[in-house]
Amino acid sequence: MREFDDDVLECFLENQLQLFPEKVAESLDEAEDFLEECMAVVVDSVEEVVEYFEEEGIDMEGAMDDEILSAEEVFDIGDGRYLIVEG
C-alpha cells in the first residue's frame, strides 16, 4: 500500500526543483522511494505545517502562514494538504 497517493507524488515530481538543484525523481515510483527515504510527511492543513515545524524545533515565531507555506520544503498539493520534504 502506498504511503503517498498519486496527487502527492505528482505534486512532488512537478515541483521538486523548488527544493533541489536538479531532479531527484523521474517517475511516480522514484518519487515515492525518494519521499520515503527522506521521511517526507503529508499534513492536512496550514496549522499542521506550523505544528510540524515547531515539533522539529524550527523557529517559526512571527512567521505568517504564507511565509511558512512559501518555504522551499513545503509543497502545496492543491487539495488542502501539504507535503513537507526535508532536503
Is 24 among the domain residues? yes
Whole-number pLDDT of residue 47? 93
Whole-number pLDDT of residue 8? 98
Is 32 among the domain residues? yes
Whole-number pLDDT of residue 2? 61
Report which DSSP code applies to 41.
E
Q: Profile the chain (87 residues) by mean pLDDT over runs of 10 residues.
A: 87 97 97 96 95 87 83 96 91
Provide the domain limits for residue 65.
6-84
Is 53 among the domain residues? yes
Residue 46 to residues 12, 36, 37, 77, 84, Cα–Cα distance (Å)? 18, 22, 24, 12, 11
Q: Is 45 exposed, middle or buried (0-12, 13-18, 19+ CB in 10 A)?
A: exposed
Is 54 among the domain residues? yes
Is 1 among the domain residues? no
Whole-number pLDDT of residue 1? 47
If one counts the domains in the chain, the total is 1
Whole-number pLDDT of residue 64? 81
Whole-number pLDDT of residue 81? 97
